[in-house]
Amino acid sequence: MDPTRSTAVTLLAEMNSGAISAEEVTRAYLDRIDRLEGRIKAFLHRDADASLEKAREIDALRRAGGPVGELAGVPIAIKDLLCTRGVPTTCASKMLATFRPPYDATVIERINAAGAISIGKTNMDEFAMGSSTENSAFGPSKNPWDEERIPGGSSGGSAAAVAADFAPISLGSDTGGSIRQPAALCGIVGLKPTYERVSRYGLIAFASSLDQIGPFSHDLADTALLLKIIAGKDPRDATSVDTPVPDYPKTLDTPPESLRIGLVREFFGDGLDPEVDAAIREAVRVYEAAGATVREVSLPHSKYGAPAYYLVAPAECSSNLARYDGTIFGHRAENFDPISPAEAELPVLIRMMMASRAEGFGPEVKRRIMLGTFALSAGYADQYYNQALKVRRLIRNDFDTAFKDVDILVGPTTPTAAFKFGEKTADPLAMYLSDIYTITTNLAGIPGLSIPCGLTKSGLPIGLQLMAPAFAEEKLLRTARVFEKATDWHTKRPGLV
Amino acid sequence: MDYTIIIGLEVHVQLTTESKMFTSCGTDFGLPPNTQTDPVSLGMPGTLPVMNGKAFELALKTAIALGASITPFTKWDRKNYYYPDLPKNYQISQYDLPFSTGGWLEIPPQKDGSGGGRCSLTRVHLEEDTGKLTHGAGGFSEVDLNRAGIPLMEIVSEPEIRTPQDAKACLEELRLTLRYLGVSDCEMQEGSLRCDANVNIHIDKDGQKIATPIVEIKNLNSFRSVERAIQYEAERQYEQWQRDGKTIKDAPKQTRGWSDPDGITKVQREKETAADYRYFPEPDLVPVVVDEAWVARVKASIGELPFARRKRFASEYGLSDYDANVLVEQGQDVADYYDAVAKATGAYKLASNWVQQDVLRVVKERKIPIGDFPVGPEALADLINRVGRSELNTNQGREVLAKMIDTGEAVDAIIEAGGYKMVSDESTIVAAIEAALASNPKALEDLKGGKKKPDAVKGFLRGQVMKQTGGKADPALVGSLLDAKLAELTS
């Protein structure tokens, strides 16, 4: 068997039966990475020796018959904004190029305790701001289905790593679609859990009220397993909640008692690619064939989602990223001589901060910091930031109303399949619209899932998005599993050899 | 010159907690720079704040004690600014929903009975303290983040104080109250109590009221400097107005720093451009819901506050305002100590004298808290009762107490070993009087001849009698028997 064509759950079965060792599994993935990473560029940092060392430890544990964790020996790729103790954590920014956190994120502690083997830190848009990885300070990742196209973003490296079979599973983060959009464009499964479901401790914040960590995988069995491990209350994250964590893998194959599906009317308007539209409608027919009742529902305020998002997220980012000023954190400029007479008037400390931030941040990060600073400024906050908070409440109400009549909402994850490099870099607004269908779930705090549901004529993956009420991940996964069992899209892999 | 001084206070109080406002890192004062830190208080990427429930409860206790209304739903906000005293470049504070509004500060009257009253509070809110910057030689500034993140309570008053003396008295009373509540040690020198004063004057001119521009005075490091700085500032503003005629409408608020050695305020920020802190709700923390049961529970934990205690000491124990104040202002432990002694003796005034003269003297000399004073209130009350029952005279009592303090031994053992027993036997005392007269014949001559005043002669003879009895005689009895004897001899 080729372990790199497997999933976490099947690999675990093989390892637990003794058919293959964690070291062999890890080595197989490392070999594949060595062969293909030059083309895909999914990773920012790898330590093959450390990965193999950990694999050998797991093997020793298994041989000794000791208890092993639920992910013992499974390689995993980690988005480079999750803090890993002693290991570079750069957020794909020049600003944090040399940052090695003295602590692990809570999710890292949990996957380590479960015996997962970190295979590397993955590329992303700088500070998770972007939809293509083109905003990475270290160059973009490639879509394994078509290397001339973007893998999506911001968790593009984590999505590409799984799609390219560099690891069976990976962790990403989703602020406005940063897990679901790359999952859709890379033909894999990506879940953004309910806000507060997974601890954010150790996630380097972009927009704190929207950020949420979630899993990438080839199928829902792996999604359920990884979610179970990372979810739950964390005393270090005041916003994480004590709601019990269901045994997602255990109930996954039980079809939901109620299968009332709502088709979001607003997600089928202008800008939706006809091929994507057709794939989603075909997916709906699959559900109908499985006995689902399907009705159209409306989220009337979703058209205000993107404007509200691009006020709330930048506002929070302008504050979250303020600490990177060269004083304690972040790149420090060597030369901060005044570049204008006005600058000469400023204190040297301020000049140092300005020069360091000018050098350390890329253009998209700067754009959002400026947007957010403006949105929060005296005299504008009521008009922009506070107005956006009101819209946020209306969007949440839309979902609450919709979920009175249906169990799950579905629609496309993205308006189009993966686009080409450079296609949208000149037009930030066009780039922002690639998150148009994913943004509202972040604003409402509810879980959203993207699963593979088709390929375009040119062979690019298409994602089906499913949304559920807050903390209804179990229902969400079980409903998605109905589709997964009826189709074989999740088994498709890019022809990357 | 006819003007009124308008004073409002902004007081920052560090709360006494073992850990910081939003992380478990320690809060000890005086440690080497940057050793009281952890990833959260350093604002390291990816870290998150978690509210210290103890700190919130102490703040709640304070606000309730100050008569404030508690906000049922309160939240945290970020105050954004670029300065290295907080590595996040924002401070977690409270903006539009502080946990309490209203309430008041008591202002005790001056010794001469002037001043006093109340000063309304605008709000009390909670935030994290900032680090400390030291601007050193060579143009370098040093950052110490030990203080960063310590729970800090900000108490903002209305501009209702009218004299520098009242401002000082109000602050002193606040400190006493906070110490009674046990929420802060309030050391101005260590910065656990800090005060800024907003000052301007209202000038009466031809029946018109003219207000001068408001000045915020910073760098007030002692209660005395609060009083001096406000006095100075009022006079300076009057002179300034006489020179330039500028009123509150003509000039923005100015920040001035008090220089204690020079006795003047100096401009710190000339043009106060309204700083834009871009406040917004802190997304990393959840709002705090304070229900009535919580308020009731905290309220029940609040003991008698200084203002009420002074009144009770005067009404219940009949102490003078002066004595009541001395006992109360030493802190809750001293007042409790006195309370216990007073109750156990029933001799309120006597107990007050013993505590003020004998106990507090030693406590101050040794610089110890009264809790470490070797003689507990029950033991002192026992001793005072013995004096009351004439088992010991006052001087003997003092000596016994001194030995109890030095040796830590029980009162009975000391009386036994030292042979302390008051001599009240009349024949013994009469014998001592006769012996004293016999060995000092000149005294009687002086008295008879009117050469010296009778009181002086009697005083001398009383001393001699006490000497004869080894200081053990009942002084009252010595007095009456000596009077009788002298009357007999001179008649």
Task: Among A102, A238, A373, select the one facing B286 at the smallest CB separation.
Answer: A238
Q: Is the pLDDT of residue B280 over 80?
A: yes
User: Which pLDDT score, from 0 to 100, does residue A1 have?
Assistant: 72
- The whole-number average pLDDT for the span A254-265 is 96
**Letter for the amino acid at B332?**
Q
Which chain B residues are within 8 Å of A235, Cβ to Cβ?
A: 50
Q: Are residues A326 and A180 in the same domain?
A: no
Q: Is the pLDDT of residue B273 over 70?
A: no
| Pairwise CB contact (< 8 Å): B286 & A201 | no
- Whether residue A154 has a cis bond before it, omega within 30° of 0: yes
pLDDT tens-digit readout, A456-496: 999 999 999 999 999 999 999 999 999 999 999 999 999 98
The structure tokens listed for A212 are 């949420």
pLDDT band at B484 (very low <50, low <70, confident <90, very high): confident
Q: Is the pLDDT of residue B316 over 60?
A: yes
The structure tokens listed for A493 are 């892999």
- Listed by number, the residues of chain B in 269-308 with a beta carbon closer than 8 Å to a beta carbon of chain A are 274, 276, 278-280, 283-286
User: Which pLDDT score, from 0 to 100, does residue B1 have?
Assistant: 61
| Pairwise CB contact (< 8 Å): A329 & B87 | yes
What mean pLDDT is reported for chain B? Answer: 92
A319 in catalytic set: no
Least Cα separation, residue A211 to chain B (angstroms): 11
A98 within some domain: yes
User: Which pLDDT score, from 0 to 100, does residue A355 have?
Assistant: 96
pLDDT band at B271 (very low <50, low <70, confident <90, very high): low
Q: Are residues A248 and A315 in the same domain?
A: no
| Domain boundaries, position A379 | 304-386
Comparing C-alpha atoms, which of B155, B158, B166, B163 is closest to residue B66?
B155
Top residue of B21, B48, B77, B82 to mutate, by most chain A CBs within 10 Å, is B48
* Strand stretches in A267-318, DSSP E: 293-297
Q: pTM to 2 decimals? A: 0.90
Which 3 state secondary structure label does DSSP give B268?
A: strand
Name the domain boundary from A358, A386, A414: A386
- Is B87 part of the contact surface with chain A (CB cutoff 8 Å)? yes
| Pairwise CB contact (< 8 Å): B87 & A327 | yes
| Pairwise CB contact (< 8 Å): A101 & B45 | yes
Q: Is the pLDDT of residue B451 over 80?
A: no
pLDDT band at B393 (very low <50, low <70, confident <90, very high): confident
Which 3 state secondary structure label does DSSP give B419?
A: coil
A477 within some domain: no
Comparing C-alpha atoms, which of A233, A234, A231, A259 is closest to residue A247?
A231
Top residue of B78, B81, B89 to mutate, by most chain A CBs within 10 Å, is B89
Q: Are residues A223 and A357 in the same domain?
A: no
Residue A118's contacts (CB-CB under 8 Å, 6 or more residues apart) are A50, A51, A54, A75, A76, A77, A78, A84, A87, A108, A111, A112
pLDDT tens-digit readout, A341-371: 999 999 899 999 999 999 999 999 999 999 9
DSSP string, A380-400: TTTTTHHHHHHHHHHHHHHHH
Comparing C-alpha atoms, which of A20, A442, A359 is closest to residue A192?
A442
Contact present, B354 and B341 (Cβ < 8 Å): yes
CA atoms within 13 A on the CB side of B375: 27
Which chain A residues are within 8 Å of B89, Cβ to Cβ?
A: 319, 322-323, 325
Q: Where are the alpha helices (DSSP H) in A168-273?
A: 180-186, 220-230, 248-251
Q: Which of the two residues, B325 and B469, has the higher pLDDT score?
A: B325
Least Cα separation, residue A427 to chain B (angstroms): 28
What mean pLDDT is reported for chain A? Answer: 96
Task: Among B43, B46, B274, select the one facing A203 at the smallest CB separation.
Answer: B46
Dist CA A155 CA A428 (whole Å): 18
The structure tokens listed for A494 are 């890019």
User: Which pLDDT score, from 0 to 100, does residue B458 have?
Assistant: 84
Q: Are residues A239 and A320 in the same domain?
A: no
Q: Is the pLDDT of residue B274 over 80?
A: no
Dist CA B105 CA B373 (whole Å): 32
Q: Is the pLDDT of residue A237 over 80?
A: yes
Dist CA B269 CA B247 (whole Å): 18
User: Which pLDDT score, from 0 to 100, does residue B270 have?
Assistant: 58
User: Which pLDDT score, from 0 to 100, does residue A33 have?
Assistant: 98
Task: Among A96, A235, A323, select the one facing B89 at the smallest CB separation.
Answer: A323
Dist CA A99 CA A88 (whole Å): 6
User: Which pLDDT score, from 0 to 100, does residue A270 have?
Assistant: 85
A63 within some domain: yes
Q: Are residues A200 and A335 in the same domain?
A: no
Q: Is the pLDDT of residue B133 over 70?
A: yes
| Pairwise CB contact (< 8 Å): A101 & B78 | no
In chain A, whose CA is at the least distance from the CA of B92? A319
Q: Is the pLDDT of residue A204 over 60?
A: yes
pLDDT tens-digit readout, A74-125: 999 999 999 999 999 999 999 999 999 999 999 999 999 999 999 999 999 9
Contact present, A256 and A485 (Cβ < 8 Å): no
Task: Among B51, B80, B90, select the one facing A238 at the smallest CB separation.
Answer: B51
CA distances B150 to B17, B19, B29, B153, B427, Å, are 8, 8, 11, 10, 71
Q: Are residues A350 and A215 in the same domain?
A: no
A154 in catalytic set: yes
CA atoms within 13 A on the CB side of B155: 29
With 0-12 CB in 10 A as exposed, 13-18 as middle and 19+ as buried, what is A97? middle
pLDDT tens-digit readout, B61-109: 999 999 999 999 999 999 999 999 999 999 999 999 999 999 999 999 9
| Pairwise CB contact (< 8 Å): B82 & A205 | no
Q: Is the pLDDT of residue A220 over 60?
A: yes
- The whole-number average pLDDT for the span B47-53 is 98
pLDDT band at B467 (very low <50, low <70, confident <90, very high): confident
Of A187-196, A428-437, B14-23, B330-339, the one with minimum mean pLDDT is A428-437
Least Cα separation, residue A383 to chain B (angstroms): 13
Q: Are residues A96 and A219 in the same domain?
A: yes
User: Which pLDDT score, from 0 to 100, does residue B424 have?
Assistant: 78
Task: Among B42, B80, B141, select the one facing A322 at the smallest CB separation.
Answer: B80
pLDDT tens-digit readout, A127-185: 999 999 999 999 999 999 999 999 999 999 999 999 999 999 999 999 999 999 999 99
Q: Is the pLDDT of residue B401 over 90?
A: yes
Q: Are residues A70 and A159 in the same domain?
A: yes
- The whole-number average pLDDT for the span B341-353 is 94
Q: Are residues A231 and A355 in the same domain?
A: no
- The whole-number average pLDDT for the span B236-257 is 94
| Pairwise CB contact (< 8 Å): A238 & B274 | no
A178 in catalytic set: yes
Q: Are residues A38 and A186 in the same domain?
A: yes
User: Which pLDDT score, from 0 to 100, does residue B89 have?
Assistant: 97
Q: Are residues A166 and A236 in the same domain?
A: yes
Dist CA A11 CA A221 (whole Å): 12
CATH number at residue A231: 3.90.1300.10
A492 within some domain: no
**ipTM (interface pTM):** 0.95
| Pairwise CB contact (< 8 Å): A325 & B89 | yes
Contact present, A295 and A263 (Cβ < 8 Å): yes
Dist CA B145 CA B136 (whole Å): 16
A38 within some domain: yes
Residue entry with tokens 């902004």: B10
Name the domain boundary from A255, A271, A296: A255
Catalytic residue among A54, A79, A192, A492: A79
CA torsion sign, B147 to B148 to B153 to B158? positive
Q: Are residues A38 and A140 in the same domain?
A: yes
The count of domains in chain A is 2
Dist CA A241 CA A237 (whole Å): 9
Name the domain boundary from A386, A416, A446: A386
Which chain B residues are within 8 Å of A89, Cβ to Cβ?
A: 45-46
A50 within some domain: yes
Residue entry with tokens 């010794």: B111
With 0-12 CB in 10 A as exposed, 13-18 as middle and 19+ as buried, what is A394? middle
Least Cα separation, residue B283 to chain A (angstroms): 5
Residue A295's contacts (CB-CB under 8 Å, 6 or more residues apart) are A260, A261, A262, A263, A405, A406
pLDDT tens-digit readout, A377-401: 988 988 999 999 999 999 999 999 9
The structure tokens listed for A158 are 């984590």
Residue A388's contacts (CB-CB under 8 Å, 6 or more residues apart) are A307, A308, A309, A311, A312, A315, A375
Local structure of residue A140 (DSSP, 8 states): -
User: Which pLDDT score, from 0 to 100, does residue B459 have?
Assistant: 86
A234 within some domain: yes
A391 within some domain: no
Q: Is the pLDDT of residue B455 over 90?
A: no
